[in-house]
Amino acid sequence: MVTVTTAGDARSTRDWEAVAMAREAIEEVPNVPTIHEVRAALSVIPGSLSSAVTADRGDY
């Protein structure tokens, strides 16, 4: 028989570590773009972002 006495967190420890690392990295950036600036920058890429990356790097 197994008894669970506490509910586990749905997010893994790795998720929390990734979020902490991202927050630290953002603190070091002098000018963090807004979501609108990111969308505007991505909107000029024709096709999909995946196609743009493949075209830039080539197929592996």
Question: Looking at residue 53, what is its pLDDT?
Answer: 80
Question: Looking at residue 36, what is its pLDDT?
Answer: 96
Reported pTM: 0.41
SS3 of the chain: the string is: CCCCCCCCCCCCHHHHHHHHHHHHHHHHCCCCCCHHHHHHHHHCCCCCHHHHHHHHHCCC
C-alpha dist (Å) from residue 31 to 1, 28, 38: 55, 9, 12
Question: Looking at residue 40, what is its pLDDT?
Answer: 92
Question: Looking at residue 5, what is its pLDDT?
Answer: 64
50: alpha, beta or left, given left = phi > 0 and alpha = psi -120 to 50?
A: alpha
